[in-house]
Amino acid sequence: MTLLKWFDRNFTFGLPNAMLPFYLERLAGTSTRMRAKLDGIDDSILSEKYNGKWSVKQHIGHLAEVDQVASKRIVEMVSGKPELSPAVFEPKDYSTWALQEVLDHFDRIRKENLSHYEKLTEEQLQMASLHPRLKVMMTPVDLAFFDAEHDDHHLVAINEIVKALLKEKATS
């Protein structure tokens, strides 16, 4: 099956505040799901850049970077900034990091990001700013949904990489 590319996905926003706890639960559970998927997988597989694309560790590091952007965007929304900052990343090769180091890095940044959401008032949850790529107004609740979907996108990508590399290893 061909997977739908992230940039080809469509999203509906304007989500109710009452949905935030569900999205935060998904975001909080990403680390546990990642760790369960990667338990017992050889580091060489997790570091390999499959088909010239990202390694599993690169996907994990990317999610940490996205959380840093999300935290910045939450601050921008509640301060009334009309348009959110673009997602700009300084390239890092997480493939060279130890798995535990990448996971701990992700966990630390994810906890910081979740704490930003948990401090928001009902009024702040209604504040919206223009997303620079999607060109739609987005509230913090919408951003939490968007980032939870993004996590799942990368968890599926991680699954695909691990399955393919384990299959290659088994047949070689």
Q: Encode pLDDT of 23-55 as tens digits.
A: 999 999 999 999 999 999 999 999 999 888 899
Residue 124: pLDDT over 90:
yes
- The C-alpha atoms of residue 107 and residue 110 are separated, in whole angstroms, by 5
pLDDT at 7: 72
pLDDT at 22: 98
pLDDT at 52: 87
Helices (H) and strands (E) in the chain, counts: 6, 2
Q: What is the mean pLDDT of residues 111-123?
A: 97
Residue 154: pLDDT over 80:
yes
pLDDT at 104: 98
- The C-alpha atoms of residue 110 and residue 31 are separated, in whole angstroms, by 9
Q: Which two tokens stand for residue 134?
A: 């999607």
State the pLDDT confidence band at 4, using cuts at 50, 70 and 90. Answer: confident
pLDDT one-digit tens code per residue, 60-113: 999 999 999 999 999 999 999 999 999 987 878 999 999 999 999 999 999 999
Q: 13-171 belongs to which CATH class?
A: mainly alpha
